[in-house]
Structure 1
Amino acid sequence: MSTHAFRYNRIPPNAEPLREQVRGFLAEALKDRSPLQRADSWMGADPEFSRELGRRGWLGMALPRRYGGAEAGPFARYVVIEELLVAGAPVSAHWIADRQSGPLILRYGTEAQRDKYLPGICRGERYFCIGMSEPNSGSDLASIRTRAQRRGDGWVLNGHKLWTTNAHYSQSMIALVRTGEKPASRHEGMSQFIIDLKSPGITIRPIRDLAGGEHFNEVYFDDVQLGADALIGTEGQGWAQVTAELAFERSGPERFLSSIALLHTLIDAIGKHPDALQAREIGRLAARLFTLRQMSLSVTAELAAGNNPAWAASCVKDLGTQFEQDIPEVAQLLLDLPPSAGGGSDHAQVLAYLMQMAPSFSLRGGTREILRGIIARGLGLR
């Protein structure tokens, strides 16, 4: 366990000035975007908006310049994504590629893989999804059964991935699959592959959620041919690679800002003269938000130092999603205004949307039970 986890961290002085640039851009770019649209921020895809971020150098920011990045460091990227999420920008198209696929390829990929994928990520043109969850596995990632078997110089892939966010418009997937035979440990014998989703033998089927969206997908692999260059990192080391990747997925501002649009409309609906209960509960939410932000920045500092703060990232995700799910409950406590999915005030519409979406927040990226097991191991309790 790192002794640096959750120490107080500030945005460095060289990164903070970027905030005003991003805010100015967003004020103009999103001026016609409604509160309900803003509530769908990191699940809302707009490829042209993603390309514009790429043109401004705000994607792949921490990647080396030779691949199209800015070598700006993780805190500069933190400033950009924080402003994007708070403003409710449509970031879903590039989100996974920028957040974790790019850093994973930089760390474990070959030079050919870096040259092939990283420039497109930085331009906002190359989108990735993550192939982890499977049917009948729940949150037990070690129980996956999708398998890649060697054939000649390449591999043949068969299996089924589930709850795959954005597979329907991503060009590529980084998938964790089994490659070994009868491993001594259930965490052994797994590898990661970069898969072209246009390859023959791949079927993608959308899963409609309660709010009517189709962000999640089932992905079927039927004798999919993979070249030798599809393997990323070291064969058999997929578990170690994917746990490092999950630290990026579980620690960012998106793990406590998914309901921020509702906090905005709630404050606007209450107005400038809250009663005692409203003032107290809004203050409590603000205090939790500030604390979660500081925890997230601490994990960012760990990642910047080259560490793998898996247990600390799990803390951010666990506490952050609880905060996100509590906001709709608090909103109903403070205002006698029912949710409305078919019209009504901005607050009523945003409340209806996030009431439907909030149950999924503690599922995506790992359930609470899985996260708390990771935290317990990190604290030496199991």
Structure 2
Amino acid sequence: MGFFNFEPLTLPPEAEALRGDVRAFLDEAMADKRPVDRAFNWMGRDREFSRKLGQQGWIGMTWPKKYGGHERTFLERYVLLEELLAAGAPVASHWVADRQSGPMILNIGTEEQREFFLPKIAAGEFSFCIGMSEPDSGSDLAATRAKAVKVDGGWKLSGTKVWTSGAHTADWMIGLFRNDSDPASKHEGLTQYLIDMKSDGLNIRPIINLAGQHHFNECVFDEVFVPDDRVIGTVGNGWKQVTSELAFERSGPERYLSCIQLVIEMLRLAKDADDPALNEELGRLTAHVMTLRRMSLAVAGKLQRGENPALEASVVKDVGGVFEQALPEIAQRLLGDEPTLKDGTDFQEVLAFLMQEAPSFSLRGGTREILRGIIARGLGLR
């Protein structure tokens, strides 16, 4: 039977030393941001901000210097992410590329792919999106139906990807397609491709969410040509590759800090309120945050040691999603203010925004049912 291994981890001095530099940078770069702007957290997009981070050496910071990286540790990167998220920095333009597309290219890409993509990602110049989910498939990636047909010099891709975050502003996608229409198992015959988002035959349609924001997209492929040198990894090995990739997506501090601006606003109000119930609940929420942080740090430690954190990452994502979705309701119950996005207090505006965004927190990165299936298999229960 499997088990969870959340080995306690203390951040080393070089990681903590970075924290002050990042805070000083953010104090200047974020000086004009309102609390409701910061509530966008890692969904906020700002290409110029990403370029500034790249100039600081804070994108791709663990990668080899020959590819534009800085050969710093995963734990230093973890501190950077904590500070960016706590400040509500607009990091979405480089987030996916830094978190998972770049590491994937580094680990299994060709030398030509590394030399072409990684320096531009590290400079904040290339933005990536992920083409995994499909209509009527939920989070079951093995149900992928979008197909790749081999042609002279490359592949032609057809089908639809949905819930594709940031596809409307991305330069590139790593997409999962079925290259074998009749595999022995549905987990076989899948391949990943590096896709130029300006390709002929690729139609990007916006999906507007409850908050009126354009974050998600539907991407329709009509025989989109991808050359052979843009296959990433091994043809037919897409399932193994994509499940390894998701460990990067599910384990970071973004899985419990998406609603941190709401907690900050509650703490500000609590300073002027003589309310034991509010103080007790804030203590409970703080304990939850610190527990999730310890779990997430343990996953960062696994990555630093070169271990596979897929099981623990799924736990962090699941527990973090439950926690974050509960926060807006808890906040409104305790403080009694009505959420409003227009002419409200900072608390009311942050609350209104996150009430509308929170339903998506248990979808992105894998639905709760899929995550718990992964956890059950890891424990030997199915």
DSSP-derived class of the 1:76 partner: helix
Contact 1:147 1:157 in 2 (8 A): yes
Give, as a single letter, the amino acid of the residue that structure 2 aligns with 1:285.
L
Give, as a single letter, the amino acid of the residue that structure 2 aligns with 1:141.
L
Contact 1:133 1:141 in 2 (8 A): yes
In the TM superposition, what are the counterparts of 1:313-324 in structure 2 within 5 Å? 313-324=313-324
Please give the alpha-carbon distance, in whole angstroms, between the structure 2 residues aligned to 1:3 and 1:357. Answer: 33
Please give the alpha-carbon distance, in whole angstroms, between the structure 2 residues aligned to 1:365 and 1:224. Answer: 26
Match of 1:236 in 2: 236
The alignment's C-alpha RMSD in Å is 1.2
Shift of 1:181: 3.4
DSSP-derived class of the 2:41 partner: coil
Match of 2:20 in 1: 20
Match of 2:353 in 1: 353
Contact 1:5 1:302 in 2 (8 A): no
DSSP-derived class of the 1:369 partner: helix
DSSP-derived class of the 2:15 partner: coil
Give, as a single letter, the amino acid of the residue that structure 2 aligns with 1:181.
S
Shift of 1:5: 2.2
CA shift digits 1:269-297 (9 cap, x unpaired): 22244422111100000000000001001
Please give the alpha-carbon distance, in whole angstroms, between the structure 1 residues aligned to 2:166 and 2:5. Answer: 32
Contact 1:128 1:172 in 2 (8 A): yes
Contact 2:3 2:379 in 1 (8 A): no
In the TM superposition, what are the counterparts of 1:109-124 in structure 2 within 5 Å? 109-124=109-124
Shift of 1:249: 0.2
Contact 1:157 1:221 in 2 (8 A): yes
DSSP-derived class of the 2:16 partner: coil
Whether 1:282 and 2:279 are equivalent positions in the alignment is no
Match of 1:5 in 2: 5
Whether 1:343 and 2:343 are equivalent positions in the alignment is yes
Shift of 1:7: 1.1
Shift of 1:153: 2.4
Give, as a single letter, the amino acid of the residue that structure 1 aligns with 2:23.
R
Shift of 1:3: 7.3
Give, as a single letter, the amino acid of the residue that structure 2 aligns with 1:105.
I
Please give the alpha-carbon distance, in whole angstroms, between the structure 1 residues aligned to 2:10 and 2:261. Answer: 25
Please, which moves more after superposition, 9-18 or 201-210? 9-18
Contact 2:4 2:312 in 1 (8 A): no
Please give the alpha-carbon distance, in whole angstroms, between the structure 2 residues aligned to 1:5 and 1:61. Answer: 26
TM-score by length of 1: 0.98
Whether 1:81 and 2:89 are equivalent positions in the alignment is no
Please give the alpha-carbon distance, in whole angstroms, between the structure 2 residues aligned to 1:106 and 1:251. Answer: 19
Match of 2:71 in 1: 71
CA shift digits 1:33-58 (9 cap, x unpaired): 00000000211101000000000000
Contact 1:321 1:361 in 2 (8 A): yes
Please give the alpha-carbon distance, in whole angstroms, between the structure 2 residues aligned to 1:53 and 1:273. Answer: 38
DSSP-derived class of the 2:42 partner: coil
DSSP-derived class of the 1:215 partner: strand
Contact 1:4 1:302 in 2 (8 A): no
Give, as a single letter, the amino acid of the residue that structure 1 aligns with 2:315.
C
Distance 1:274-1:308 versus aligned 2 partners, 3 A rule: farther
Q: Which sections of structure 1, spanning at least 5 residues, go unmatched?
A: none
Please give the alpha-carbon distance, in whole angstroms, between the structure 1 residues aligned to 2:35 and 2:214. Answer: 20
Contact 2:2 2:379 in 1 (8 A): no
In the TM superposition, what are the counterparts of 1:1-382 in structure 2 within 5 Å? 5-382=5-382
CA shift digits 1:142-176 (9 cap, x unpaired): 10101111111211111110000000010000001
Contact 2:42 2:85 in 1 (8 A): yes
DSSP-derived class of the 2:269 partner: helix
DSSP-derived class of the 1:176 partner: strand
CA shift digits 1:91-143 (9 cap, x unpaired): 01110000100000000100000011000110001000000000111111110
Please give the alpha-carbon distance, in whole angstroms, between the structure 1 residues aligned to 2:332 and 2:272. Answer: 18
Shift of 1:307: 1.8
Please give the alpha-carbon distance, in whole angstroms, between the structure 1 residues aligned to 2:381 and 2:2. Answer: 15
Give, as a single letter, the amino acid of the residue that structure 2 aligns with 1:287.
A
Please give the alpha-carbon distance, in whole angstroms, between the structure 2 residues aligned to 1:150 and 1:220. Answer: 19
DSSP-derived class of the 1:364 partner: coil
Shift of 1:199: 0.8
Please give the alpha-carbon distance, in whole angstroms, between the structure 2 residues aligned to 1:373 and 1:181. Answer: 26
Contact 1:7 1:298 in 2 (8 A): yes
Give, as a single letter, the amino acid of the residue that structure 2 aligns with 1:155.
W
DSSP-derived class of the 2:257 partner: coil
Q: Which sections of structure 2, spanning at least 5 residues, go unmatched?
A: none
Please give the alpha-carbon distance, in whole angstroms, between the structure 2 residues aligned to 1:181 and 1:136. Answer: 18
Distance 1:144-1:3 versus aligned 2 partners, 3 A rule: closer
CA shift digits 1:52-96 (9 cap, x unpaired): 000000000111100110110111111111100000111011100
Shift of 1:371: 0.2
Give, as a single letter, the amino acid of the residue that structure 2 aligns with 1:178.
R
TM-score by length of 2: 0.98
Please give the alpha-carbon distance, in whole angstroms, between the structure 2 residues aligned to 1:47 and 1:258. Answer: 20
DSSP-derived class of the 1:246 partner: helix
Shift of 1:4: 7.8
DSSP-derived class of the 2:229 partner: helix
